[in-house]
Amino acid sequence: MRQLEDYRYLGDPQQRSGEWWEHLKYIRLWPSPSAPFLTLGGEIRVRYEWIDNTDFGSGPQDNGGYLLTRYLPYASLTIPGLPGGWDFLAFGQLVIASNDYDQRGAGPIDEDGIDMLQAFARVRFPLGDGQLSVQGGRQVISFGSERVIGTRYGPNVPLSFDGGIIEWKDTRWDIHVFFLQPVQVAPDPLDNESSGNQQFWGVYSTRRLDNVLSTGFSTGLDAYYLGYYDNDAVYNSGSGTELRHTLGVRLYGDKAIGRGTVDWNYEGIVQFGRFDSNLGTGSIFAWSVGTESGYTFDAPWKPRASLRANIVSGDNDASSPNLQTFNPMFPKGKYFGELTPIGPYNLINLLGAIGLRFTDSLTLTLQGGPYWRYSTQDAVYGVGGNIVRASDGSSNARFIGTQFECVAEWSPRRELSFLVSYSQFVPGTFIEETGPAETIHFVAVEAVFQF
C-alpha cells in the first residue's frame, strides 16, 4: 500500500535522516514550502519455491522448483496546500511478474508481462472535524485483517480493482464507501481489464474505542456491509450467478496484563442473497467466525503464543439450489501461512503458533494445526475458490489434514528483507478416501528490496 506513505515531512531539512532514499521521496518541483513534489519508489522481489505433491499428488507436478520474480515501480505527484486546505495525489504503479522453470506452467496470478497495477487520482479536503477524500481509478485496497478484502500481496501478482472510493476520517472514525470491479490478470503486456462478471460495493467503518473503554486498552471496532455479484460462480453443488450481501463485525486490540501483553482479533460474518444455478434459483445463507488470541511475554526474545480458530459454513445439500457455502470474496493470498492449500470455505481449523523475536530484525515463527470440513456434503476449496477436492458422497469424513510451518524472517535494513520457510501438509481421512493423498512439502526462499 505504497500510496499510504506520506513524505511531505521531508520538506523540512531538519526531519531528514540522511538515508539515500529520501532524495527519491521528496522531489520538489520548484523552491517553495507548498510546492508540488514527486515521489519515486519500487519493489523488487525474488522468490524461489519448491513444492512436492501439489494438491496432494493430483494433476501436473513440479520436480525442481521454480523462480518467481516481480517488479513494482511507482511514481506519485502530490500537490499540497491548495486553497481551502485541499490537496491532490496522482499515483501510478506498474507490475512486471514472471514465473520461470515451473514444469506445471504459470498459474493465473503468477505471471504478468507488464501492466498497470494502480493508476488513480485522489482529492482530499477538510470536512467537519475530519477529512474527506474522493479516489477514482485502478487501486489496491485492504480492510481489517484481510479476511474478505485483501491486497493478495503474497502471490506474485497483487489484486487491484477499478472503481471509486470515498473516505471520511477523523481521530476516531474511518469510513469508506466504494464501488469496485476486480481486475483480471492476463499474461500479455497491458491487457489487464476489469472483470465483466464481478462487481463489488459496500461500506467499511472503523471506530477507535480507546476513549470509551477503561484506560490501558488499545482497541477498535470494525463494522461493514459488502455487496457482491458474480455471474460465473462455481461451488460443489454447481455453477451460476450469485448475488451476495455480507454483514461483518471485527473487534481487535491489545492490553498490558501481568508481565506481557495480550492481543485479540475476533470477527463474525453473516451472508445472505440469491444463487441462480443449474439446480434452479435458491437462497444463500452462510456465516463465518474467526478468532486470534495471543500473549507476548516480557522476556528475552519476546515470545508470543497465539491460537487462531476459524469456523466457516459449508453447503449442507449438494442437490438443493439453496447454498450455505461461505464466500470470502477477496481474501489475502497466504491466508493460513506460506503454504495455503486450503482456503476459508466449508472449514473448521485450529492454528497454534509460537513467535520469537531474537532481535529487532530477526524473527522465527512455528505454527501448525488440524483442518476439518464443516459440512460433509461440501467440497474442500482453495483460497481462490477453486475446488481442491470435490465431495460426491463417497466419503463422510470431516478430517482434511494437519499443517506445520516454520518461517524465519530477517530485515537488516528498512528497505531489505529476507525470508526462509518450510511447510508440510499431511492429508487426513477425507483426502485419503477421495483420491491421491500424498504429504505436501513446501520450501520458500525470498529476498525483497523495497524503497
CATH label of the domain that carries residue 377: 2.40.160.100
Lowest pLDDT segment from 38-42, 365-369, 383-387: 383-387
pLDDT in tens, 310-319: 999 999 999 9
Average pLDDT over residues 252-272: 95
Sign of CA dihedral 254, 256, 258, 259: positive
Query: Would you state the pLDDT for residue 105?
Result: 84
Average pLDDT over residues 14-35: 91
pLDDT band for position 71 (cuts 50, 70, 90)? very high
Q: Which of 177, 151, 165, 57 is nearest to 121 (CA)?
A: 165
Residues sharing a CB contact under 8 Å with residue 148, sequence separation 6 or more, in sequence order: 226, 246, 248, 269, 328, 329, 330, 331
Q: Tell me if 24 sits within 8 A of 40, measured CB to CB.
A: yes
DSSP 187: S
Query: Would you state the pLDDT for residue 147?
Result: 95
- For the chain, what is the domain count? 1
pLDDT in tens, 204-233: 999 998 766 666 678 999 999 999 999 999
As a whole-number percent, the residues of the chain with pLDDT over 90 amount to: 88
pLDDT in tens, 143-152: 999 999 999 9
> 60 is in which domain, residue-wise?
2-450
Give this prediction's pTM.
0.92
Amino acid at 232: D
Average pLDDT over residues 324-338: 95
pLDDT band for position 155 (cuts 50, 70, 90)? very high
Q: By three-state DSSP, how is residue 281 classified? A: strand
What average pLDDT is seen over the chain? Answer: 94
Lowest pLDDT segment from 43-57, 212-226, 332-346: 212-226
- Grid cell 470455505 is found at 345
Q: Which of 318, 394, 311, 319 is nearest to 346 (CA)?
A: 311
- Grid cell 449442507 is found at 316
Q: By three-state DSSP, how is residue 5 classified? A: coil
